[in-house]
Amino acid sequence: MLEAAARNLLDPAILFFVVGLLAGLVRSNLEIPQQVTKFLSLYLLMALGLKGGATMAVQGVTVGSLVAILAAVLMAFIVPILTFLVLRRLVDPFNAAAIAGTYGSVSAVTFIAGQQFLTKNDIAFGGHMSAAMVFMESPAIIMAVMLVSFLRRSRNEGAEGGNEASSQGEAVSALPSMREVLHEAFTDGGHLLLIASLCVGYIAGESGEAIMKPFVGDLFKGILAFFLLEMGLLVGRQFGESEFRLEPALTVFALVAPVVYAVLALGLARALSLSRGDAILLATLSASASYIVVPAILRYAVPEARPGIYFTMALGLTFPFNIIAGIPLYHALSGWVWP
């Protein structure tokens, strides 16, 4: 286990993440223009989709791949439910629902880091896991928004006095409808690009992958390293410059919950006889939290929740934990079940 963890830490991409983290913490003036970051994230999603689609075309869509996708969807429902049940005792229900949405969804960069880890350790995984990731993105958002609608109804029913009821009614009218929220979720640029790239990769197949290799293959590792440098910088700045501080219980949750969800995912993967590589990726996805797509939707759809809480938990704690320690840990845990 220690050998794999050390190999992970010595990966240039991970080392650049640490460099960015330190630069952010010491308040360095290192800057990467936002448009460059946007390009890097779109590039990574495109490369991920193309590679996943091409692998699926080569391997074919089998019962095994459908079972893996089904397991992913199941985890996408289990994680937000468990998160909400645990956190509603610690924070107000709107924040609990928002955090549930964030943790129920996934981080594509964590998934890519998981794939890189497996490749380095010669563990095979299916291209269908990229499709599984796509299927894991949305259920949690829908669940969080439904939960919040229910919470609002309960709050409004509980409100006493004519003035208060009228004020609440007026307030609710400013909130987006479920249809508007779903439109935001499904038309997100990154989400659309990933799905489109999966389809293109699948249609173009092996020959298409060969054509695109110089762009999405040879450059991939370097661009991932550059993106992780930026992410490290972002995480470092959140801690180095922000006055916002999380409650200790939420800090513990952000570091412990990923391991619990990964263990659940590994158990489910074992019960469904998934391969070890697919199981580790399922665990990585279940342990990850969205820090781009879902927080953006939550700001719009759940204004009652504090963005500082769910964004800081997902980006500042869970993301670096998974990148640095989580993925090697899930690999080690899987070794007990898949000898």
Asked if residue 296 binds other proteins (CB under 8 A), the reply is yes
Work out whether 187 is an interface residue with other proteins (CB under 8 A). Answer: no
Cβ atoms 204, 54 nearer than 8 A: yes
Instruction: Supply 129's token pair.
Output: 């896991």
Per the CB < 8 A criterion, the answer to whether 305 and 91 are in contact is no
Q: Which of 137, 209, 230, 278 binds other proteins (CB under 8 A)?
A: 230
| Rounded-to-integer distance, Cα 105 and Cα 45, Å | 16
Residue 163 interacts with other proteins (CB under 8 A): yes or no:
no
How far apart are CB 92 and other proteins at their closest, in Å?
12
Sole binder of other proteins in the list 140, 216, 223, 234 (CB under 8 A): 234
Identify the residue among 213, 299, 325, 338 touching other proteins (CB under 8 A): 299
Residues 14 to 53: which contact other proteins by CB under 8 A?
A: 32, 34, 37-38, 41
- Rounded CA separation 290/279 (Å): 20
Contact 20, 229 (CB under 8 A): yes
Does the protein bind other proteins through residue 247 (CB under 8 A)?
Answer: no
> In this complex, which beta carbon is closest to other proteins, that of residue 3 or of residue 160?
160
Tell me if 285 sits within 8 A of 75, measured CB to CB: yes
Q: Candidates 157, 160, 170, 218: give the one binding other proteins (CB under 8 A).
A: 170
Does residue 292 interact with other proteins by CB under 8 A? yes
Q: List the interface residues with other proteins, window 302-331 (CB under 8 A).
A: 303-308, 311-312
Q: Tell me which of 92, 164, 206, 241 binds other proteins, using CB under 8 A.
A: 241
Could you tell me which stretch among 113-121, 139-147, 153-161, 232-240 binds other proteins (CB under 8 A)?
232-240
Distance CA 197, CA 180 (A): 25
Which one, of 122, 150, 106, 152, lies nearest residue 294 by Cα?
106
CA distances from 305 to 138, 153, 274 (A): 19, 16, 37
Distance CA 266, CA 139 (A): 20
| 120, 271 Cβ separation under 8 angstroms | no
Nearer to other proteins, 217 or 307 (CB): 307
CB of 241 to other proteins, least distance (A): 5
Q: Kindly write down the DSSP assignment for every residue of 247-265, as one continuous string.
A: -HHHHHHHHHHHHHHHHHH
By the rule CB under 8 A, 166 interacts with other proteins: no
Residue ranges binding other proteins (CB under 8 A):
32, 34, 37-38, 41, 167, 170-176, 230, 233-234, 237-238, 241-244, 292, 295-297, 299-300, 303-308, 311-312
